[in-house]
Structure 1
Amino acid sequence: MERPRGQTARAAGSGSMLEIPQNKRSTRIFLVIALSMLSCLFLVLVRYGLTGRFSQGYLLWNLLLAAVPLVVAGYGARFASGTSRKQRSRAVGLAVFTVWLVFYPNAPYLFTDFIHVVRRSGLGAVALPWLSQADLQWYDIVMNAAFAFVGHYIGLVSMYLMHGTMKLLFGRVAGWAFLAPAILLSGFGIHIGRFSRFDSWDLVLHPVETLRVIAQSLTDPAAVLFSLAFAFFIALTYIIFYIVKRDPLGYLDA
C-alpha cells in the first residue's frame, strides 16, 4: 500500500514514528537549507564589496563539504524507507553509514574557522572611510557564526536521517549504538582536520597515514581534550535537536 504524501516512515517493530521526512516535507527542508547556504554566500559577497578582497573562499568550500553528509544521509533514508523489509540490505546501510561518517565532521568543522577571526587573519585593508578594522572584525564574527550555524544544522539534519536509517535497518537500540561512537570519532575527525590538515578524502586516498595520525592523537592529552569537547558539543546539540524535532507535547503541530 502506498504511503500517503507528507507522511513519515514508521520504524519496523515499533509503534513510534521514525523521523525520515518524505515528499513535500523533505523538499521544504532541503529548500530551506539551500537558501541558507545562498545567504552565507551573500555575506561573503558583501564582505568582498566592503574590502575588495575575496579572502573567505575557504568558508564556502567548507560549507559545501558540510552538505555532502546530508546528500549521503538522504540517499540512505530514501533507501531504507522506500523498500520493503525483505529488500532492505544491512550491508548497503552499513556502507552508507561509513561514507556518511567519513564526511560528517566537515559540518561541525566550520566552528574551527573562528580561529581566523581570533587571529585577525584575512581582515585586509578597509577601503571605506566609515568602516574601521574593528567594525570589519565584528562583521567577520557574524559571518563566521552564520556559516558555522548553517553547517552544523546541515550536519544535525544528516545525523537525524542517518539515525533513523540505522533504526529502520537494525532497531532502536542499535540506532543509538551506531550514533554514539560516530559522534566520538567525529570529534577526532575535526581535530585532525584542523591541526593535521587532513580532510575526508585523505581517509579514502591515504587511509594508512590518516589512521596513523588518528592513533597518534589518541596519546596526546590536548588532542583528546579538543576531540571530547567537540564530541560533547555535537552530542548535546543533537539531543536538543532530536527532542525538539519529535515535539512530544505537540506544541508545534500547527
Structure 2
Amino acid sequence: MKSVFAGNKAKFAYFSFIFIIISTAMYTFYAKEPHWWYIVWNDILAVIPLFAAMLCEHYFSKKKTVPAVIFGFLWLLFFPNSPYMMTDLKYTSYFKESAYLEYEKIGTNVTAWLIVLNLTVTVILGLLFGMMSMRIIHKIINKRFGKATGVAFCTITILLSSFAIYIGRYARVNSWDIVRPIFLIEKSLNSLSEFSPIFIAVFCIATAMLYVLYYAFDKFVIKHD
C-alpha cells in the first residue's frame, strides 16, 4: 500500500495542491476573504476518488477482491466531487457588472483576475483528479469484465454523478450523507424541478466529453510519447 501513496499519480496530486494552496492564498490575502479557502476543501474532496481508485487498483492487482470492491465503492461515492468543481465557475458572476460593456473595469481589477487564476487552477486540477481516477477504474473493469462492460460502466457512472452534482448543488447534500438515506432521499426529491433534467443532461455531456478527451490523451499521447 505504501507504493500507492508514493507513486507518480500520488506525487502529482501532492504537487498539484501546492499550486492550489498558492493560488487560493493569493486571492484570500489580497481580497481579505478567508472564507474562500472552502475551495481547497472542494479539491480535497475531488482528490479522494483518485486515491480510492489507486487503492482499488492496488488490491485488484493483488487479487484481493474484498478491499478492491470496498475502495471501488468509495471511488463511486466520491467521484461526483470532481466534476462538481465545474459548478464553482458560477463565481465568475463576480464579473456581472463589468464584463463586456465596461471591460476596462475588469481589465484593471486585480481581485477579479485573482479569482480567475484561482478558479482556473482549482477547477482544472479537480477535474483532472477525477478523470485520472475514472481511467484507472475503467481499466480495471475492462480487464475483469471486458470492454463493452467498461463503456457501460463509465456511461452509468457519468449519469449517476451528474444527478449527484445536481443534488449536491441544489439540495446541498454531500457524499457522506449516504449514511442518512431517508434524509438524502427527502432532500433530493424536494430539490427536483423542471430544470433538473436539463442540468443533469448538460453535466452528463460535459463530464463525458472531459473523460473522452482524457481517455484519448492517456491512450494516444502518454502511451506513445
Regarding TM over 0.5, the answer is yes
Is the aligned partner of 1:230 residue 2:223?
A: no
Report if aligned partners of 2:54, 2:133 keep a CA contact under 8 Å in 1: yes
Is 1:40 aligned with 2:14?
no
Look up the equivalent residue of 1:62 and give its one-letter code: N
The 8 Å contact of residues 77 and 164 in structure 1, kept in 2 or not, is answered as no
How far 1:55 moved relative to its partner?
Answer: 2.5
Counterpart among 36, 55, 76 of residue 56 in structure 1: 36
- Please name the residue that 2:103 is paired with: none
> Counterpart of 1:55 in structure 2: which amino acid?
H
Pairwise CA distance, 1:169 = 2.4
- What code does the residue aligned with 1:177 have? A
1:186 to 161, 169, 175: 161
Which residue, out of 141, 148, 153, partners 1:166? 141
Cα distance in structure 1, aligned partners of 2:164 and 2:211: 17
User: Does the 8 A contact of 1:66 with 1:104 survive in 2?
Assistant: yes
Counterparts of 1:1-254 in structure 2, within 5 Å, are: 27-83=7-63, 89=65, 93-119=68-94, 134-204=109-179, 206-215=180-189, 220-247=193-220, 253-254=224-225
Looking at secondary structure, tell me which structure has more helix per residue.
2
Shift of 1:182: 0.7
Task: Provide the rounded CA distance (Å) in 2 between the counterparts of 1:94 and 1:177.
Answer: 18
Determine which structure has more spread, i.e. the larger CA radius of gyration.
Answer: 1
Cα RMSD over matched residues?
A: 2.7
Q: Contact (CA 8 Å) 1:80, 1:168: kept in 2 or not?
A: no
Q: Deviations over 1:19-44 (max 9, x none)?
A: xxxx79x8223212221121010011
- 2:142 and 2:222 map into 1 onto residues whose CA distance is 26
What percent of counterpart residues are identical? 24
The offset of 1:51, in angstroms, is 2.9
How many residues are paired up?
A: 213
SS in 2 for 1:184: helix
Q: Name structure 1 gaps, 5 residues minimum.
A: 1-22, 121-130
Where 2:195 maps in the other structure, the secondary structure is: helix
Q: Distance in 2 between matches of 1:168 and 1:252?
A: 18
Aligned partners of 1:216, 1:95: CA distance in 2, in Å? 30
How far apart are the structure 1 equivalents of 2:137 and 2:167?
23
Give 1:251 deviation, angstroms: 8.6
Deviations 1:30-75 (A, max 9, x none): 2122211210100111223323331311101110011111111111
TM-score between the two structures when normalised by the length of structure 2: 0.83
Contact 1:80–1:169 (CA<8 Å) still a contact in 2? Answer: no
Q: Shift of residue 228 of structure 1?
A: 1.3
Counterpart contact for 1:77–1:161, Cα < 8 Å: yes
Q: Distance between the aligned counterparts of 1:160 and 1:111, measured in 2?
A: 19
- Scaled by the length of structure 1, the TM-score of the pair is 0.74
